[in-house]
Structure formats: structure tokens, C-alpha cells
Amino acid sequence: MKSASRALLTGVNVIALMTTFACKESSSFKGGSGKSAANSANAQDHDGPNSKGKSDTDGKKSPGRTKIDKGQKEGKRCLAKSVDLRVMFVLDSTGSMQNPINIVKSNMQAFANSLTGISFDSKKIKVQKVSVGSVIYRDNEDEIWQIPLGTPAELTSRLGEVVAAGGYDNPEGGLTAFSTALELLEEESAEGKLDLLPVVVVVTDTLSHAGGDVRRRACDPQAAGLGKLMASENFDKLVIYDGSPNAPVGVENCDIYNVNSSAAEQWNSVRELWASAKGDRGGAANGGNIGFPFVAEDLVTTLPEDIASSFSSCESK
């Protein structure tokens, strides 16, 4: 959001996504204290969903999760027995976000290690590899940079080049970044590859727009064209999380959103749009708001539960 400082992003190419980590402290994670990730590590099996909302620091309950009904057999998507998680962290790099960027960088290896080897559907599905990348954004379309999917060490190194700056007003360019992220992940998931599962983690401290006149930004996910993009036949698997505040942001130039709207409310609308775009094809409209500051351990605990609730092994069909 706001900062009077000025800085350049170096060594990053153009495209889009978003993130903000404020992690909790344990034996593996740095930057705070929170739920243990032990239930998610060491190749344990995850078969139960967790659909409870999470309280934000302002005492309000987050919008919670958009879940697929486990009773709808058609709604549970099929995965191969060995899966590569493709996790894109969409990072708001405006001036108020330097500390979250630093915490993302310091926890990336622990995050990937905690998810590698875990299993689902009575151990019929196993995460073989976790690839991580990031798309970094500020306010305008020419302020979007991509760090391609790769190893945790590669992402950690590249995030060391990122300096938060700018963002003198709200909202910021998060919907533009998210749209580009979907285009990138659609390419990664093309042809219905059963061994790939794309995950987007959006972390920001304010509402997001998709361009338009500065006096009335395009903040409605449907109006931003996300519905059409999500309807792609090649793109039927996605898990969407946001680490964003549930408290009102106070933006007046964000079309359908007003001074009483929160970033968490906006990203819950994005998940609902995904579910609507997929219709009977169902699959992975799960995920949810994890709260702000974002906690890496909470994601490590929640992600396996959500995957288990929405996916089953192709071999069991």
C-alpha cells in the first residue's frame, strides 16, 4: 500500500500473481508462532476436510471456504498417484509489504519440505514434488513481474532482489496479476494433465483492481473477465487461497466494493466465480481465506485437507 520510498525490482521478467507472508514460529518456520504443521508433514495421509472459517485479527470471521460437496461423486476431480504441486505466490510488493516479502523468502524451503511426500485418498495419491514461483505486482499493468516456477532455493534467491515500494493509494493491481497467473497456470495444466495440481496463494493487505479509470477501478472479478478465463476446458483443477484482511479497507473508487468492503470478501467472490464457471465439472473450487498476516504453517495444515476433500485417485474410478 503506502510508502514514500522508491526502489527498483531487478532480475525479474514480466507476467503476473500475488503474496504476503507473516508466518508463525515452529521448529521449521520463521517469523511468528502458529498451528503446528506436523499433521501435514512426513507423508501422512489426509482424508478429512476442514471447512471452518478463520478469525482475523480484528475479531471478525473470514468468509471461509467454498467447498465441493463430498457426496457429489462427479464433483471430486481425479488425480494421478504421483502429483506435482505447482504453487504460485502472488505477491503485493507495494510499500507496506516488505516484511511479508522477507518472511516468504525465509520460509519457502520449509513450506515445500512440509508438503513434499504427503499422501491423500488412503495413500493412493502422493505429492512427489512441489514447484514454487511468484508473480509480483504493484498498482499498474507495467508493474508486474514474474519469477517462474522452480525450486524453493531459486525462488528464495529471486525474492531477495524484491524491494517493496510505491502504492500510494488503494486498490492495487491484484486482479490483473491474478488473471495473468491463471493464463500461466492454464499452460502448465493444459491437456488435462492428471499429475499436476495448480495452487494460487494471493496475499495482500488491500483490495485489488484490473485496471480502468483511476476514478473508478474495475474491482468486480466478473467484470474483469475472470469468469471467461476460468471457463477454459483445459483448466479444470485449481486451489485458490488468499491471505488478506477481513476488516474493511476503506476504498471508494472500486466499483461494486465500497468503504465497508474487505479484501477477504473480494477473494471469496473469486472462488465463487471459479465454482460457477466450472458448473457440473466441479473440481477444486476449494481453498479459502487464511487471514492476514498470512501464516505459512496454516497453509501447510489446510492445503492437504482441502485437496483430500476435492480430489480422489484416478485408479479408484
For cell 501464516, name the residue: 295
In this structure, what is the dihedral angle of CA atoms 257, 58, 159, 163, given to the nearest 10 degrees? 70
- Give the burial class of 36: count Cβ atoms within 10 A of its Cβ; 0-12 exposed, 13-18 middle, 19 or more buried: middle
Looking at the DSSP bridge assignments, the partners of residue 119 are 45, 126
Q: What are the sequence ranges of the domains in the chain?
A: 38-316
Q: How many CA atoms lie within 13 A of 199 on its CB side?
A: 28
DSSP designation for 62: P
Crossing angle of helices 152-159 and 98-115, rounded to 10°: 170
Position with higher pLDDT, 130 vs 307: 130
Residue 282 is predicted with a pLDDT of 47
- Within 8 A by CB and 6+ apart from 193, the residues are none
Q: Inform me whether the pLDDT recorded for 23 exceeds 70.
A: no
Tens digit of pLDDT for each residue in 259-268?
Answer: 889 999 999 9
Average pLDDT value for residue range 180-203:
77
Average pLDDT, stretch 180-189?
A: 75
- pLDDT at site 279: 63
Reading the block at residue 135, the C-alpha cell is 508473480
What is the pLDDT at residue 313? 87
pLDDT for residue 74 is more than 50: no
Query: For residue 96, is it left (φ>0), alpha (ψ between -120 and 50) or beta?
Result: alpha
Q: What integer is the mean pLDDT of 282-302?
A: 78
pLDDT of 67 > 50? The answer is no
Q: How confident is the model at residue 13 (pLDDT cuts 50, 70, 90)?
A: very low
Alpha helices in the chain (DSSP H): 98-115, 152-159, 174-188, 226-230, 263-278, 296-310
The set of cell numbers assigned to 121 is 485418498
CATH no., domain 38-316: 3.40.50.410
The mean pLDDT value for 170-190 works out to 82
